Amino acid sequence: MENVDKKLHGKKWLWLFFQKRALFVYLILLQAGFLFYIIISQSTFSRTLHHILVGTSFLVALHIVSRKMKGGFKLTWIFLILSFPVFGGMLYLLFRLQIGGSRFPKRMIQNHQKTCGDYLNDKSDYEKAVKSFHEYSSQISYLQNFAGFPIYENCYEKYLSPGEKKLEALLSELEKAEKYIFLEYFIIGTGVMWSQIFAVLKKKAAQGVTVRIIYDDIGCFSRLPKEIYQCLNKYGIECSVFNPFIPILTVTQNNRDHRKIAVIDGKVAFTGGINIGDEYINATDRFGHWKDASIMIKGPAVSSFVIMFLQMWELCTGTTEDYTRYLSKNEGQSSGGSFIQPYGDSPLDNENVGEHVYLQIINNAKNYLYIYTPYLIVDDSLISALALTAKSGVDVRIITPFRYDKKLVHMTTRSYYRELIMAGVKIFEYSKGFLHAKAFVSDDKIATVGTGNLDFRSLYLHFECGTCIYNSPVIRDLKNDFLETQKVCKKITLKDCTPNLAARLFQDILRLLAPLM
């Protein structure tokens, strides 16, 4: 593994240029170029194909208008088809009719129904929670009775921010592992953070502890060497890659595993925005100081993260797992009247769990609502909810990053500022660097910390997870962290977000294309 690290860091760009994954990109560009040549050539075949594609685009446009989907998606696709009548319809079909699309969601839904039906928590916690938090009873009921994610009492939660604190706690818990370690991350990158974790994983695997890792192939595209799979297996570490990248013109790659889950022995779990990479622990300066958030959980609620991991493991490997081997009878960790409700979100079941959690917290806010998000690219329903809550007298504050990781995405985020500020929402940009946390806190009663951004990808296209927390000390910690962070932020005014006409027009175009970002 040390040789692999040297290879990646010492000759990083040259090595990446010639490696197999770079070849995949060239093959895709070659396919696209060949298709374009066929379309623009003046042969009889190309003219016939042109008419077929334009006709296809017209039929696709009619189909989109009649479909039940988010208005933002409809508007974007109709705009693209009108702008590019030859390719627009085929592009939409490429997005919607993905390879293996009918089998993939069916298996995922079957797994979810099986596990949630078999391992649903005792109803007593649910009844107690609904009685104790009547104002959030609809949210609690939605997550448990419809989405299938139980609520638990007597758990221990600890808020961890920034990433350095998460790494310290994670390493400590990994050292205690006796039965198994499950890691599921969108990004795993070689470097200081990975080296420390990998050292513990090797030791634990040698001791007979089951170690399993799931990583997303696109998330790790330029971060892990292609030898990583063989390297992990050499040390007895099981590894599975989510949705491996293939050099074919298809957007089956569009649905990514954006979750960050670590589970040890069914007793402790971690989730939040922190991946495994040096920028997340500020061991490298990528966009200035990296501000992120995570949560550690102990007690019965860990079972939900065990189930989420095993569902994804089955999906990636095609195996069938005995869940009872990994579920522990956890004793209560506290008795302070707090409740916790982990949840997952899948793009394949037509149920936007993450969005619904956010909307319910927004709509239930009475005194204040504080939000961390790296991206603010949302549809009309979330914008309207935020604006109405602010207009109703609630103190709504949002912190986004000043330094960005994707320029166009950041410009699109800023395009929403004016509308929200005029409604009374207070917006701040984190001046020290990049803010990557995804968290809501409201009224000293409820919070959520997870992996889902306020953008179309997280809300509708990615596998995500998070946890709702009720009446826990974590809520106070998150609120205090937000207020401290606000001190190193710049408050955005209307003057700051009033661009000239050309910039305003460009922002409008970006917002129109937001569902594809």
Catalytic residue positions, numbered: 258, 260, 265, 436, 438, 443
Half-sphere exposure at residue 103, Cβ-oriented, CA atoms within 13 angstroms? 6
Strands 238-242 vs 210-216: parallel, antiparallel or unpaired:
parallel
Question: What is the spatial distance between Cα 260 and Cα 274, in angstroms, rounded to a whole number?
Answer: 7
Half-sphere exposure at residue 473, Cβ-oriented, CA atoms within 13 angstroms? 12
Give the torsion sign (CA, 74, 79, 85, 86).
Answer: negative
Please calculate the CA angle 420-422-426 and round it to the nearest 5 degrees: 55
Maximum alpha-carbon separation in the chain: 77
Ranges of beta strands (E only) in 444-512 are 446-450, 464-470, 489-491
Report the DSSP beta bridge partners of residue 454.
376
Question: What is the spatial distance between Cα 65 and Cα 78, in angstroms, rounded to a whole number?
Answer: 8
Q: Among residues 151, 404, 491, 454, which one has the least CA distance to residue 273? A: 454
Name, in order, each residue with C-beta under 8 angstroms of 194's C-beta and a sequence gap of 6 or more.
Answer: 188, 276, 277
| 151, two tokens | 């609520």
Q: Among residues 208, 191, 393, 340, which one has the least CA distance to residue 278? A: 191
Place of tokens 């009374």: 424
